[in-house]
Amino acid sequence: MRSPVINVMAAAALKAARGLIRDFGEVEQLQVSVKGPNDFVSAADLKAERTLKSELGRARPGYGMLFEEGGVSEGSDKRHRWIVDPLDGTHNFLHGIPHFAISIGLERDGEIVAGVVYEPTRDELYWAEKGAGAYLNDRRLRVSARRQLSEAMIGTGMAARVRGNEPRYAATLDAVLGAASGVRRFGAAALDLAYVASGRLDAFWEFALSPWDIAAGLLLVREAGGYVSDLSGGHAMMASGDVLAANAHLHLPLAALIREASRASGGA
């Protein structure tokens, strides 16, 4: 049974998703235009954000908010804050690639306690609440059980803020490519983390993500039995944006591999 707060988050995501699906159909048509769909996608993103703000604000009027586009809105309830990305995977959306999501995390006293990641084109609702497990629609999730990096499929990404730090990222990518069965870059960090939670990916790493990219996904992985950390092994992911998520067998060896490659490249 979903709790009231998960129902609130899911309902807000589903309502915003209806607009995104309509707009996505238009974007696919706009690919052939000279102007391109950039302005249209910005409008779609902002429209989804307005819907989410309205729905979440009406359900929990005192909560603060942190949105990708709208920034911080203080609430009368200082304990709770929504952390929301209305369109994770914007570049995929922009190019008519059906791989994007809405991500909503609920923070209580500085800790993420509930999360929803909704992928509209496949109608997949990932959700988790602290201590209650992680789910895909109504199916309980568990991270994969693979024990060897050589058998693992690893997800990664390169956020815009990493530009200028390509040597570090290239070194870590080269190291993981040499050790793993395969590496995938799908372009939507919230979904990458959801895929780790569901066992579709065995692990995921990325540098310099924003809180709205990872708030919901980190909880999904934890509640599915996985481990999440920053790349130094600490827990400053929300501050640094550096994230490593994996099952219990792969987390330590993958962290060591990435740290060594990063040091060798001259990175942190």
Give me the CATH number covering residue 21: 3.30.540.10
Residues 69 and 182 in one domain: no
Residues 89 and 69: their CA atoms lie apart, in Å, by 14
Q: How confident is the model at residue 142, as a pLDDT?
A: 98
Of 149-153, 167-171, 172-176, 188-192, least confident by mean pLDDT is 167-171
pLDDT of residue 25: 85
Average pLDDT over residues 68-82: 87
pLDDT at 210 over 70: yes
Which of these ranges, 76-85, 164-173, 181-190, has the smallest mean pLDDT? 164-173
Element (H, E) at 197: helix 189-198
pLDDT at 163: 55
Looking at the predicted structure, is the pLDDT value of residue 267 above 90?
no
Single-letter residue type at 99: H
Mean pLDDT for 57-64 is 96
State mean pLDDT over 28-52. Answer: 70
Let me know whether 16 and 125 are in one domain. yes
What's 149-182 look like in SS3?
HHHCEEEECCCHHHCCCHHHHHHHHHHHHHHCCE
| SS3 category, 6 | helix
Does one domain contain both 91 and 42?
Answer: yes
Number of residues written out for the chain = 268
Whether 103 and 122 map to the same domain: the answer is yes
Distances (CA, A) of 3 to 79, 119, 133, 233, 268: 19, 20, 12, 32, 41
Say yes or no: 153 and 103 in one domain: no
pLDDT at 168: 84
What pLDDT was estimated at residue 161?
52
Q: Is the pLDDT of residue 181 over 70?
A: yes
Q: What angle do CA 245, 251, 256 make, to 5 degrees?
A: 115
Q: What are phi and psi of 147, to 5 degrees?
A: -110, -20
pLDDT at 265: 78
In whole angstroms, what is the distance from residue 75 CA to residue 183 CA? 41
Domain check: are 17 and 111 in the same one? Answer: yes
Write the CATH number for 253. 3.40.190.80
pLDDT confidence of residue 28 = 64
- 17 and 122 fall within a common domain: yes
**Worst-scoring range by mean pLDDT, 18-32, 49-63, 109-123, 239-253?**
18-32
Residues 171, 85: Cα–Cα separation, whole Å = 29
Q: What type of residue is 234?
A: G
Q: Is the pLDDT of residue 114 over 60?
A: yes
Which single residue is written with the structure tokens 């909704």?
118
Identify the pLDDT of residue 35: 44
- pLDDT for 89 beyond 50: yes
Q: How many CA atoms lie within 13 A of 186 on its CB side?
A: 22
Domain holding 125, by residue range, is 4-140
Together in a domain, 154 and 116: no
When pLDDT is cut at 50, 70 and 90, the band that residue 232 belongs to is: confident
Average pLDDT over residues 213-226: 98
Measured distance between the N- and C-terminal CA atoms of the chain, rounded to whole angstroms:
44
In whole angstroms, give the CA distance from residue 18 to residue 51: 10
The DSSP element (H or E) to which 134 belongs, if any, is strand 133-136
Q: What is the rounded average pLDDT of the residues 86-104?
A: 92
What mean pLDDT comes out for the span 122-138? 97
User: What is the number of structural domains in the chain?
Assistant: 2
98 and 159 co-located in one domain: no
Residues 68 and 159 in one domain: no
> Are residue 110 and residue 46 in the same domain, yes or no?
yes
More confident residue, 228 or 90: 228
* Residue 5 pLDDT grade (very low, low, confident, very high; cuts 50, 70, 90): very high
Q: Verify that 116 and 32 share a domain, yes or no.
A: yes
Query: Quick check: 156 pLDDT over 90?
Result: yes
